[in-house]
Structure 1
Amino acid sequence: MTNPRSDRVKAVRSLSGRSARSRHGQFLVEGPQGVREIVRHATSRVLDLYVTSTAATRYDEIVGAARTAGLHVHLATPEVLEAMSPDAQGVLAVARTDGRSPAEQLAELVAHLPVSRPALVAVLATVRDPGNAGTVIRAADAAGADAVVLSGESVDVHNPKVVRSTAGSLFHVPVVTGATLAETVDALRAAGLLVLAADGDGRHDLDDLLDVAGSDAVVDLARPTAWVFGNEAWGLPAADRALADAVVRVPIRGRAESLNLATAATVCLYASSRAHRGVGP
């Protein structure tokens, strides 16, 4: 491919916008890390792979895996890749979005929660910043979470900045979108999960909960758990906090006014991951 003004290039570039993603049911995966992970872990979602000759040599394992899987690999000039996406770094994939309804996605999530060990789910309630959303998905993956839910008016998970910020974790952990927070909480609680809201004014201190985890405390971090994280600017409204079984604060021992959303979420998810160690076979 040599023409940066071709209709195909314009169609791919349009996927940086939400309306085109919604209309076509497709999204962009930009850069070698994200493309490597979708080729490895979500092969069936890949529609096309675009790569420059230089990148094909540098990332020959990506191209080789894609061709072995029977994916469409298109060699293109640097100008074509740049026109498709300035963040492609010579490697770009077009992938399918999940066309299922929120109810179907939630049902699938619940059906596949583990039974031999405590489940861990991160729920983002009206998280608007794409960098924060992507970082929480990456942190949830690293902490061993079983799923992430973006509820309410949260950012589109297929926003290119969200996809890049996950560093490939979007293709490791199930991500559910579109369900309301109330629907999500109801489904997870019915599946036996303790629902905890993270908030700076929470009644329960996270460190105190870790101290008694596994002792059948009223709020026991050793239980299967869903963490609810609020908006970057205003946190969780009272109505959202009321949906949770308990509201938990991350202790701040220094002079920082607060933690940003992604940092607080990482701390909470790792606290649960630690409490879950050794629970189950």
Structure 2
Amino acid sequence: MPLSSGNTRVKNARKLARRSSRAERRQFLADGPKAVEGAVGLPGCVVEVFATVEATTRYAALAAAAEAESAVWTLVEDRALASLSDAVTPAGVVALCRFVDRPLPHVLDGDPRLVAVCADVRDPGNAGTVIRTADAAGADAVVLTGSSVDAYNPKTVRATVGSLFHLPLALVDEPAAGVAAARSAGLQVLAADGSGETDLDEADGSGLLEAPTAWLFGNEAWGLPAELAALADHRVRIPIHGRAESLNLSTAAAICLYSSARSHRRTR
């Protein structure tokens, strides 16, 4: 019989809505079929999948993939599933996962060519979208530094649409340490800065973007602190041709990451 919302396993999983519980247990919830698919595709990540009877039928291939990875697939009542999801309309499937972040030196192993470093990014949707964009652009890793939002916040996980499980992730307390590690890995550091001295279009034309690069992105409201931006090799601004004052962080990140990815493909 499907488990009810009062079941001990369901109740314990529900506690992961709190950041303190996630940190203590190093586990989190991935909500929705795309997130669960990504988690199942990462060996050893999934502990258990909770799914309604209807969702189990709808996502039969996903259930089979989870079984192949030795992940427990547990039927739960609709109300129990809803208690594990913060979506307005739950999709009927939620995975209980182990943390996926790795130590920074491991993430930067193997001669990376494109890395996104986020400093003090507070909005879960922005952080998740940067991870998703970095994945789409073929980046080698994402580094969240400083007081950035919890990578395992349900809204962050949902915004990655499964990309959280596709590329290496590191969490670093000090943004400057992330910059130093990137440079030690052979990456030039380009700070995305609206008042930067280098125009992105000019950087693309000059060949600057052809080098292995770590893009440094700052907070949504105040950008990069001057002392952090000063650590970069270049401060790069995206040209704004209309009357908009600035660009959304995740939009700016998409433009910068894809500009580098395009340059890297040209030089292969």
TM-score exceeds 0.5 = yes
Is the contact made by 2:100 and 2:169 (CA closer than 8 Å) also made in structure 1? no
Partner in structure 1 of residue 118 of structure 2: 124
Partner in structure 2 of residue 217 of structure 1: none
- Matched to 2:59, the amino acid is Y
Query: Is 1:65 paired with 2:65?
Result: yes
* CA-CA distance at 1:61 after TM superposition: 1.0
- 1:15 is paired with a residue whose SS is helix
Change (3 A) 1:246 1:180: same
Partner in structure 2 of residue 48 of structure 1: 48
TM-score, length-scaled by structure 1 = 0.91
* CA-CA distance at 1:99 after TM superposition: 7.3
Structure 1 Cα separation of the partners of residues 155 and 55 of structure 2:
21
Query: Is 1:91 paired with 2:64?
Result: no
Structure 1 Cα separation of the partners of residues 49 and 108 of structure 2:
32
* CA-CA distance at 1:5 after TM superposition: 1.9
Partner in structure 2 of residue 143 of structure 1: 137
Partner in structure 1 of residue 219 of structure 2: 231
Partner in structure 1 of residue 233 of structure 2: 245
Structure 1 Cα separation of the partners of residues 66 and 185 of structure 2:
37
TM-score, length-scaled by structure 2 = 0.95
Is the contact made by 1:113 and 1:146 (CA closer than 8 Å) also made in structure 2? no
- How many residue pairs match? The answer is 265
- Matched to 1:158, the amino acid is Y
- Matched to 2:196, the amino acid is G
Query: Is 1:156 paired with 2:157?
Result: no
Gaps of 5+ in 1: 214-219
Structure 1 Cα separation of the partners of residues 101 and 184 of structure 2:
25
Is the contact made by 1:25 and 1:99 (CA closer than 8 Å) also made in structure 2? no
Counterparts of 1:7-18 in structure 2, within 5 Å, are: 7-18=8-19
Encode CA deviations 1:36-87: one digit per residue, 9 max, x unaligned.
11112x1311000111111011111110101122211101111110122243
Query: Is 1:173 paired with 2:158?
Result: no
Is the contact made by 1:124 and 1:149 (CA closer than 8 Å) also made in structure 2? yes
* CA-CA distance at 1:185 after TM superposition: 1.1
- Matched to 2:201, the amino acid is D
Query: Is 1:134 paired with 2:136?
Result: no
- 1:28 is paired with a residue whose SS is strand
Is the contact made by 2:111 and 2:186 (CA closer than 8 Å) also made in structure 1? no
Query: Is 1:186 paired with 2:180?
Result: yes
Structure 2 Cα separation of the partners of residues 72 and 37 of structure 1:
16
- Matched to 2:119, the amino acid is A
Structure 2 Cα separation of the partners of residues 107 and 2 of structure 1:
42
Is the contact made by 2:194 and 2:236 (CA closer than 8 Å) also made in structure 1? yes
Is the contact made by 2:104 and 2:172 (CA closer than 8 Å) also made in structure 1? no
* CA-CA distance at 1:279 after TM superposition: 2.4
- 2:209 is paired with a residue whose SS is coil
- Percent identity, please: 51
Encode CA deviations 1:91-111: one digit per residue, 9 max, x unaligned.
0000011476xxxx1110222
Partner in structure 1 of residue 78 of structure 2: 78
Structure 1 Cα separation of the partners of residues 75 and 175 of structure 2:
43
Gaps of 5+ in 2: none
Is the contact made by 2:86 and 2:154 (CA closer than 8 Å) also made in structure 1? no
Is the contact made by 1:127 and 1:231 (CA closer than 8 Å) also made in structure 2? yes
